[in-house]
Copies of this chain bind each other. A is one copy, B any other.
Amino acid sequence: MSETWVYDFEHADKGNKALLGGKGANLANMTQLGLPVPPGFTITTEACNAYNAAGTLLETIWQQVCHAVNQLEKKTGKSFAGSGDPLLVSVRSGAKFSMPGMMDTILNLGLNDNAVEVLTQKTGNPRFARDSYRRLIQTFADVAMGVDIRLFENELIAIRGERQDYEISAEELDTLIERYKGIYQKATGSSFPQDGFEQLRLSVIAVFKSWNNPRARTYRRENAIPDDIGTACNVQAMVFGNMGMTSGTGVCFSRNPATGAKGVFGEFLINAQGEDVVAGIRTPEHIDQLAQEMPEVAKQLFDTIERLEHHFRDMQDIEFTVEEGKLYMLQTRSGKRTGAAAVNIAVDMVEEGLVGVEQALMMVEPQHINQLLHPQIDMSQAIPEPLDSSGLPASPGAAVGRIVIDSHEAVKICEADPKAKLILVREETTPDDIDGMIACQGIVTARGGMTSHAAVVARGMGKPCIASAPSLVIDEHKGSITIGGKQFNSGDWISMDGGRGTVYEGELKLKQAEFTGKVGKLLGWADAARRLKVRANADNPRDSRQAVEFGAEGIGLTRTEHMFFEPERLPHVRAMILSDTEEERRKHLDSIFEFQKEDFKGIFREMTGKPVTIRLLDPPLHEFLPHDEQEINDLINEVFGGVTDEKRSEVKARIEAMRESNPMLGFRGCRLGIIYPEINEMQVRAIIAAAIEARREGSESIPEIMVPLIGAKSELAKVEPVLRRVASETMESYGEKIDYLFGTMIEVPRAAVTADEIAELAEFFSFGTNDLTQMGMGVSRDDAQRFLGHYVNMKIYRDDPFQSLDQEGIGKLVEMACKLGRQARPKIKLGVCGEHGGDPDSIDFFHRAGLDYVSCSPFRVPIARLAAAQAEIRSRGASAAAVSSTA
C-alpha cells in the first residue's frame, strides 16, 4: 500500500481511476490539460479502505489532508481557518464507478460566523453570504452528521411562508441560522463546528462511511461491483460567479447540440451562481454577448473550448464560472445531442480533419439514426412545454393532427378528406382499430406497454406512437380528452413526439426525414465499413420497396401467414383446416395457390437481384379459426353452405379441440408441414412458380425457402425430400431451372445444440431469437408483464431480453449453433430474423458470433447499417488491442 494518501489535481495520475475515483481522475485530467480549474486534491480510495479497516481516520492520512489544505491556501492566497479572505471548499465522494447511494456533495465548507462577514464584505451581498452559510449548516448536518433534514425544512417554511426562497431577507436568514445552530446542537450534542478543519475532518469521515451505507451496498451487489474498492474523496476550492459585475457563470456547447451547426452555443449570467440559472429567476444571455461584456474572458473561453474540442475530438458540454474577471472551468464532457446534430457534427468533423471516418461512425449512436427516420419536430421553432412528457416512447417520429378518439370516425374523416391529419387517441387499441390507425398520423394511448397492440402495430407501420400517457383521460361520451390537466375536444390540434413520449398543444412545424446529404454520406461510410449484411423482414411488396429504399440487401424473413388472413383467402384457409381428408385439404389449398404465387411474385419484383427468405407456414392452425358465435356461423355458411344445430356443435367442438394450453409449444411450425405435407407443397410450388414468372418479366429472383421450428434433423429429413421434389416438378412444368436455397430457422433450443446434425441438410440457418428467447429462458412474451418489469428493475435481467438479446444465456446457444453449423457445413449462411436483428447491442453480438447478416423491420435498416459498422470498428479495435498486448 502506498504511503501517499492525498494527491493534488496537478500531480495525480489522471489515468488511475481505481485510486482517484472517476471524478478525481477527471479533475486531474482537466487540470493537467492546463485548463483553469479551481485547485483541489483527492483523498484516495485506499484511504477509504484504510478508514473502514481501522474504523478511524489514520493520523498519517489526516496530516496529509491538512498539508494539502495548506497548499491550497497558498495557491489561492486565501485562508481556510484563519481570519483573512476565506478559502471555502467543496467535498464530494467519487468511486471508480459512478454509484448512487454515496454521500451528497457539501459546498462552502469553511464558512463560519466570522467568514460569513468577510464574504458579505467581499460580495457586497449579505443575503448570499448568509444563505450559503445556512445551506452549509443544513447540508453538513444532514449528510455528514445524519440529522433529520425535515427539522431544518420545517424552520425554513415557518419563516418563508408562502414566499419564494430568494424573497427571504438577510435579517430573516440571520434568525434562521441561529435556529439551525440550535437544531444542530440538540441533535448532535455539540455546537456547529466553527473550525473549518473540524468541518472537513467530519465530512471526509462521512464520505468514507457512506461507502458502506445500505443503499450503496445494495447497488454494488446488484451491479456486481466489488465491496473492497472503496471511494475517493475530492476537496476543491469554491469559486463564486456572484462577486459583482466582473463575475458570472454559464453553460455552453462547442457546437449547436440541436442542429450540429458550428460555433459555440450557450448562455451565461453576469453576477450569478449556477443555482441562479437553474432557479430561472433571471433570463440568461446568449454566449455571444459575453464578448461584449468581458472581451478578454470571452476570448479565453472560446479558445479553451476550441482546445477542448480538439483535445477530445468531440463536441463538448462545458460549465464555467468567472470570479472577479478570472475564468474557471468547472466541467467538460461530451455533449448530448439530437440525431440531426450527431450526424452533422460527425460528418463535419471528418471534413475538418478533426476525426477519421471510423471515429465519426462511432460518434453517432444508432438511436440517433432512428430519430432521423421519421418526421421530427422542427427544433428551429419555439417549443412549448409539453402537456405530458411521461408516456412510453413506443414508436419514434413526430406527428401533428386533429384529435380523434374513434377509429371508425377516423376512417370516415379520411374518406371525406384524404389529406386530413389526425392523431388517434385511445384508451388502448385492438385489432378493430387497425383501419383507424392506418387513417391517422400518430397514436396516443392511455394504457399498454412497449409491446402493446398499439406499440407493435405502430412500429410495424412506421407511425409515431406514445403508449401509456399517464395524464391522459378519455371521455368517450363527451368526445373529449383531458391531458396534462387540460381539456381538448375531438378536432382540436395536438402534436406528439413518439421518440420522446411527449404531447404538445397545437400544431407544431415538422421536418421530414431525408437520407441524402450528410446522413447519406455517413451511412455510405457505414456500408463500406461493415462486414454484416443487413436485410429486412417484409411480408409484401410495399414493405419490400420501403426496405430497399432504406438500404436493405435482401429479405431475411417473409412470413406467409399474413397472406392467409387476407379476406378473399381466409374462407379457403378455414375450409382447409376443417377438412377431414388430404384430398379436401388439397382442393382448398389449390384455391389459395394463385394468391400466394402473386404475393411472392410481387416481392421478387421489388427485390430483384437480392435474396428473399420465405418462411413456410408457422402459426398454430387454430389462429385462423373464429371464436365468437356470429363468426362461427359465418364460417359454417361459407364452408358448408348452411348452418344447422348439428353442424354448429360439430364445428364448435372441433374449434374447441384445437385449443392448446401452451400454443407457443404446440402444433405449429414444421410440425404442420410434417403432418400435412400438402401445405408445404402448395407453398413451395407457389414460391418456385413465382420466382420463375418474375424472372420471365425481367427480375432476378433469388428464393431461399425456410422451415420454421425445427428441433431435430429428423424433422428436416421428412420435409426436405418433399420440398425438393415439388421444386423440381414445378421447374419441370415451366421447363426452366432456378437456383434456390433450403434452410431452417434455429429457434428451438434443441436445434441449437444439435446444429451440426441439422446443418447436414440445411443450407442456411436463420436465428429466430424471439422464440429462442422464449423457450431458452422459459419466458412467454405474452405473459411476462407480471414479472419482466420487476426483473429489469431488480437487475435480474440486464435488459428486456425481447428488446436486446440475452448475450450471456441465449447468446451461448447462438454461438454454439454457429460453431456446430460451420463444423458440419463450412459455407453455411448464417443470419438472424428475430426482432433483435434491429437492436444495436444485439447486432454487435451477432457480428462477434460470426453471422453473415441481420434482418430487421424496414424502418430499422439504417440503424442496423450503422450498428453493423460500429460492431466491425469495435472488433478491429479489440483485435488491435489484442495484437498490441501480445507484442
Contact = CB atoms under 8 A, between A and B. Distances in A.
Given A711-B778, A776-B749, A794-B718, A663 B661 contact: yes
Nearest to A620: B783
B778 A712 contact: no
Contact of A665 (B783, B794, B797): B783
Contacts of A771: 778
Contact of A780 (B662, B712, B797): B662
A812 to B, nearest CB: 4
Contacts of A715: 796
B662 A783 contact: yes
A50 interface: no
Interface stretch (A74-82, A169-177, A388-396, A803-811): A803-811
A774 B813 CA distance: 17
A699 interface: no
Contacts of A774: 662, 665
Contact of A796 (B714, B753, B813): B714
B714 A754 contact: no
A42 to B, nearest CB: 33
Interface string A638-681: 00000000000000000000001111111101010011000000
Given A674-B787, A786-B667, A776 B750 contact: yes
A587 interface: no
Nearest to A796: B714
B749 A813 contact: yes
Interface in A756-777: 771, 774-777
Contacts of A665: 662, 664-665, 774-775, 778-780, 783
B753 A797 contact: no
Contacts of A711: 777-779, 809
A628 interface: no
A787 to B, nearest CB: 5
User: Which of A221, A747, A786 counts the most chain B CB atoms within 10 A?
Assistant: A786
A417 interface: no
A664 B715 CA distance: 24
Given A754-B808, A776-B775, A810-B750, A783 B718 contact: no
A625 to B, nearest CB: 14
Copies of the protein in its oligomer: 2
Given A794-B718, A797-B712, A809-B711, A783 B750 contact: no
A531 B360 CA distance: 63
A790 interface: yes
Contacts of A714: 795-797
Contact of A778 (B775, B783, B794, B808): B775
Given A663-B662, A667-B786, A778 B750 contact: yes
A540 B848 CA distance: 51
A782 interface: yes
A709 interface: yes
User: Which of A709, A749, A780 counts the most chain B CB atoms within 10 A?
Assistant: A749
B667 A750 contact: no
A748 interface: yes
A289 B310 CA distance: 113
Contacts of A754: 808-809, 812
A316 to B, nearest CB: 37
Contacts of A783: 660-663, 665-667
A666 B780 contact: yes
Contacts of A660: 780, 782-783
B662 A782 contact: yes
Contact of A753 (B662, B718, B795, B809): B809
A369 B281 CA distance: 89
A753 B813 contact: yes
Contact of A674 (B664, B671, B717, B794): B794
A712 B809 contact: yes
Interface in A469-486: none
Given A674-B790, A754-B809, A775-B778, A796 B718 contact: yes
Given A674-B787, A750-B806, A812-B753, A712 B796 contact: yes
Interface in A674-721: 674-675, 709, 711-712, 714-715, 717-718
A665 to B, nearest CB: 4
A780 B666 CA distance: 6
A754 B775 CA distance: 15
B813 A778 contact: no
Contacts of A221: 717
Interface string A794-826: 111100000000101110110010000000000
Contacts of A663: 661-662, 780, 783
Interface in A734-753: 747-750, 753
A725 to B, nearest CB: 14
A795 B666 CA distance: 19
User: Which of A709, A747, A779, A795 counts the most chain B CB atoms within 10 A?
Assistant: A779
A747 B777 CA distance: 10
A709 B778 contact: yes
A782 B780 CA distance: 16
A541 B662 CA distance: 33
User: Which of A715, A748, A775, A816 counts the most chain B CB atoms within 10 A?
Assistant: A775
A771 to B, nearest CB: 7
A573 B645 CA distance: 43
Contacts of A753: 809, 812-813, 816
Nearest to A221: B717
Contacts of A666: 780, 783-784, 786
A809 B817 CA distance: 13
Nearest to A659: B783
A285 B749 CA distance: 60
A423 B291 CA distance: 103
A755 to B, nearest CB: 11
A170 B221 CA distance: 96
A711 to B, nearest CB: 5
A658 to B, nearest CB: 8
Nearest to A782: B661
Nearest to A773: B750
Nearest to A657: B786
A791 B782 CA distance: 28
Nearest to A754: B809
Contacts of A779: 665, 711
29 contacts: A660-B782, A661-B783, A662-B774, A662-B780, A662-B782, A663-B780, A664-B780, A665-B775, A665-B778, A665-B783, A667-B786, A674-B790, A674-B794, A674-B796, A675-B786, A675-B787, A675-B790, A711-B779, A711-B809, A712-B777, A718-B794, A748-B776, A749-B749, A749-B775, A750-B778, A750-B809, A753-B812, A753-B813, A775-B776
The 5 closest A-B pairs by CB, nearest first: A665-B780, A662-B780, A749-B749, A666-B783, A750-B809
Given A674-B790, A711-B778, A747-B778, 4 more contacts: A665-B778, A714-B796, A748-B778, A771-B778
